[in-house]
Structure 1
Amino acid sequence: MQMPMPSNETERVKALHRYKILDTSPEKVYDNLTRLAAYICQTPVAVISFVDSHRLWFKSKTGIDLPITEIPRNVGCFCTHAIMLPDLFTVQNATQDERFVSSDLVAAPLQVRFYAGAPLITPDGLSLGTLCVIDQKPRGGLTPEQTEALHILAYQVVTQLELRRNVTSLEKAVIERIKVETEMKELNQTLEHRVLERTSQLEVKTVELTRANKELQRSRDEMQTIAYTTTHDLKTPIVSIHGIASILKQRYQDKIDEEGQRYFNRLLDNVDFMGQLISDILDYTKISRHRKQEQRLETEKIVNEVIGQFSEKIQKKKIEVHFDAPLSEMVFDKDQLTQIFFHLIGNAIHFMGTQPRPAIHIGGRKADGAYTFYVKDNGIGIDPQYHEVIFAPFHRLKEVETEGTGIGLSIAQKIVHLAGGEIWLESKKGEGATFFVRLPQRELSV
């Protein structure tokens, strides 16, 4: 069977080998992620696999009792197709898909029918493999919540790879002087204990979920609690790692060569990024848990406060900010309205590019029972093919390097959707971007 081949195959395989993950021993942190993926998606099988040049190698597998750790790449592998896409790759019934009907994986003993795989994409945009869930029965697909959770877990697999590579590089220079490996093991053990504890609680709830549809909402709430608790508890060890690494760098500065200094700086940068990522994930998971306090707000005042938070960057980039029309008052939660404008204005600033006369225009109106406002910039613009995926968690454009974790627009979208509103984008590459938000008009309850 002729398998699809990425255009960047050589670069992709080299990147995979640089992580030094192939043919390593099983690790509980990866096994926990596959177990959690299978449980969330309600499938008997979940696998973390890496696509090498001629084989598919399994780092972790749940629900497969066969003593196999790899299979040839040309046997009709679903994962070979999955790494070609930036989003979820789904096969509802392999026996009715001409690409896989003759695949060895569809035949006994595996008998794959349903497949859903999230690509493991590195910070450089290279797809190394997949975190996939498998069923021996055809299925209609995953729910939006399951799809979102599978992407988050896939991102955690890549995060573990990044942490593993950084620690390995650091060991070459100063491993004898620090205790990062011990701390990481303790962190993994803590995470394992918490995940197993929560998973045990959710397994008990599963029996009740099969009896009535109303229990589905309870399961979703509990999964959000796990995500919130896990990311919240990660903040303290991340701060600790940053502090210890900073102290060691200063204390042994005269004993570390230039390469060691680079490793330390890279470690500190990644820890800073993880800290920001955890904060953003916490903001994302808290949206559904947030108790709204609706009040009558002066929208223009909120926007000016947000602009004030970006004043240093606005002055540095010499960006002109214009109000095209006065913004009307509206009834909404103040914190959530602030978050919407914060992420839209921040996005406009970050992707301004090298525009010689950078400008941001803000406007809106109240009509037809709704508030509609927009944030418009004359920056690099966004190709129409990315207008939907730009709102997906952790998605960042590759045209320009910028700060951030890629979850800001996801936060804004979730707030708007939970409020019964709409958010959309009008843009072309190189012609700036305009984000629109429409929120239903509300009145204060007496």
Structure 2
Amino acid sequence: MVDPILELEVHLASASELQDKIETINTLALKLRYRDVSRAISLTKQVQQLEAGEAAGDPVYIRGLAESLRNLGALHTQVGEYEEALRVLLEALALYEKIEDRRDRITVYAQIGAVYLYLSSFVNALQYTLKGLELARLTEERELEGALLNNLATIYILRQEHSRALPYLLKTLQIAEGGGDLRTQAEALDNICNVYCRLESPDDALAAGQKSLKLYRELGEMQGEAEVLNTLGTVYQSNREYVRALECYSGALALSRKIALRYETIGSLLHIASVNAEQNHTDQALLTLKQALDLAEEIGAKGRLVEVHQLLSSVHNKVGQFQRALFHYECFHQIKEQVFNDEAETRLKNLEVVYQVEAARREAEIEQLKNVALKLEVHERNQAEQALLAANLQLQREIEEREQLINDLNAFAHMVAHDLKTPLQSLEILSFMLDSVLGKLEGADEALNLTGQIRQTGQKANSIIMELLTLASLRSQEVEPTALKMDQILAEAVKRVGFTLEGSGAQLDVASEWPVARGHGPWVEEVWVNLISNAVRYGGKPPVVEARGELLPGGMARFWVRDNGIGVAPEDQGKLFQDFSRLNTTRAGGYGLGLSIVRRIVEKLGGEVGVVSSGVPGEGSEFWFTLPGIQH
């Protein structure tokens, strides 16, 4: 029997027509995808180098070129080169838009959404998936609609919202079975297996996973086979069937390495390490995690890096290597915070673009109405009003969708923050208990130092959680300002920072009388906590902190916290109250999220914030805020 790849190679060598060469290269690259991915990438790139000549504007040529770019995007995704995959897929999308090829545009939307998932960019993944889904429904492409619904469910799975994912998956399976689409059936069943496992329904999970595995093997899809083997391994692991779990994970690892599927390779290594850790085979677990860490850093998969550092921290802690455990925990937290910040920034940019585009389009329509001839004015205006109404309805739908996304993100952050508070408090109590035990032993100084670091890390994490909860409440909660008892509010704030004051030996001078202002007590307390904490952290040795207030002539009440620290350089003062700013990179704390929250609180209560500082060490800084005052 003739090898189809060899047959295509021979045909390519003799092909003379441009279109024939492009089609042959595209077909050959797909055949080589799981045999020799490097050769497949090299071949596909040749299409971009072919001289098009007069055919450059031919839709047939453009379609072939776009198909090669789409294939190239899939190949780069397979080997973990995600940035390059995005670049070529966006080029392919532009070409398909040029020739008005809706079906292939839907496919590229799905591919781009999948790449953003690998990059842990859920906002962009959701954006492109929804675009593809809207176009698939508009063109009644049921098969592609099912595939995109499966992608949408995958986003919710990765966000740990399994109950929301299940209806999309069942709908995907129904569409795929109706159309005889075996590949989409296999993908949906794999995800259904994952969801049922998370929902603690192992029998349903195994049934779905085995069906998916059978379909992928019938299709010869090694990537899908590797993915579903990892999913089945998770089900067996949750049932403590470790031998079967390791068989599945090892099979997935072998397939992933065979076809250079690096993202899935990391996942298999993580699974194998977790099984070894559960069975107390810590040396094997650490060796496997080292391989996963190296590969995740090489391809820049932030989501996988979070998982690797978290598991490394757990394993090192389990064997008593506390310093290494702390190092990996800090890496885990830092990368996770980066992913969250990137998502927040991207979401804001996307919303700004939507509003700007819609506003510009509506203004253009109004200008067009002004310039039409008088005899057509009534007719044109009616048409414009209908178009504007449709645009407004569409914009309203998009705004509601994006508001729902923001609410989901806030709810997710709120839930995670609350779930983390209890174990962190337990960690702090246990560290104090451990101090008590270790203090009775000789030569325990190093261990006592480590417990102190654990306690400080827990307090830092708890502080971040409180800031996140405050930020979430600011976005969603509306309050009625009331007269504030500032002396009581400040007393509560001082209690909250009591540990910090005592540990630093700070001298706090608080005014005995305060002007009366309007605001919301819990929020204003958070302002004082942030300002006093920063004053102590960046104060002198020892810190000398002063808290005062006065009623201004214009009716506002001004409050301030003054310290004796290093001060803030004039060129940096404008950045202090920006989101996620950190000016002093030599200190782990930085001003971070705290001053951003201070600004949001005060502005929502009708006031302003600012800083007065010469930037000269020893002269310190004065951070101030205003609130609407009440005359006696």
Give the structure-1-normalised TM-score.
Answer: 0.48
The structure having more radius of gyration, on CA atoms, is 2
By percentage of residues, which structure has more strand? 1
By percentage of residues, which structure has more helix? 2
Structure with more relative contact order (C-alpha pairs < 8 Å, separation 6 or more): 1
